[in-house]
Amino acid sequence: MNENTKMGDHSILWGYAIDVWDTWGYRLMIAGAAFGAVALVVSLISSIILYKVAAVSQIELQEKTGQLEVTLKTQERLTAEARTEANKSAVELEKIKRQVAPRILSEDQQEQLYKSLLPFGRLAMAQGRPKVVLISYGMDTEGAVLGSQLLTILERAGLEAVNMLASEVPMGSFAVGVHIAGANVRFV
C-alpha cells in the first residue's frame, strides 16, 4: 500500500467527487418531488374534470330515461288500445261468421227431430216404408250439408230417405233451401 494515500478518504465515487454526487442527488430528489407534485396536481385536476363529466352525463342520462319512460307509457297505452280494438274486431268477426255460416242442426236439434219422427218411422214399418225425397240445388252447399243431416235423422227414425241432394239445376225460377217431398201428405 502506498503511504501517501489516505485510508479514510472516500471522497471519490465512480470517478467523481462525493460532493458532485451529493449535489446531483439533491437536485434529482427535488426534481422527483416536483414531478410528483405535478403528477398529483394533474391527477387532482383530471379527477375534477371526470367528476364534472360524470355529473353532466348523469343529468343527460336521467333526461333521456325520463323521455323513454314517457315513450314507453305512450306505447303501452297505444298497445292496450290496439288490443281493445282487436278484441272488438274479433267479436264482430265472429258475429259476421255466424251470420254467413251455413246453417246446421245442433246435436240437440237432431235429437229432437229424431224423436218427433220416430212415430212415423214405426208407422212406416207397420205399413211399409214410405219414401221421403230430399232435393237441393247443385251449387247450394248449405242445402247439401243440412240435407245430409236430415237424411241421417230420417234413416235413423226408420224412414226410407232418397238422396237427391245437389241434383237440381234451376232453369228460370230459383228457390233456396232443402225441399222435402213424399207421397204421404200428412207426413210430408
Mean pLDDT of the chain: 83
The reply to whether 87 and 30 lie within a common domain is yes
C-alpha–C-alpha distance, residues 132 and 167, integer Å:
15
pLDDT of residue 7: 45
In tens, the pLDDT along 1-44 reads 445 555 455 688 788 888 888 898 899 999 999 999 999 999 99
Confirm whether 187 is domain-assigned. Answer: no
Work out the average pLDDT over 174-180: 62
pLDDT of residue 127: 66
CA distances from 133 to 105, 140, 180 (A): 19, 17, 6
Give me the domain span that covers residue 36.
7-101
Work out the average pLDDT over 141-162: 86
Work out the average pLDDT over 151-165: 86
CA nearest neighbour of 157 among 186, 114, 127: 114
Q: Which residue has the higher pLDDT, 9 or 93?
A: 93
Confirm whether 22 is domain-assigned. Answer: yes
For residue 47, is pLDDT > 80? Answer: yes
C-alpha–C-alpha distance, residues 119 and 60, integer Å:
87
Total of domains in the chain: 2
The reply to whether 152 and 116 lie within a common domain is yes
Residue in the block written with cell 374534470: 49
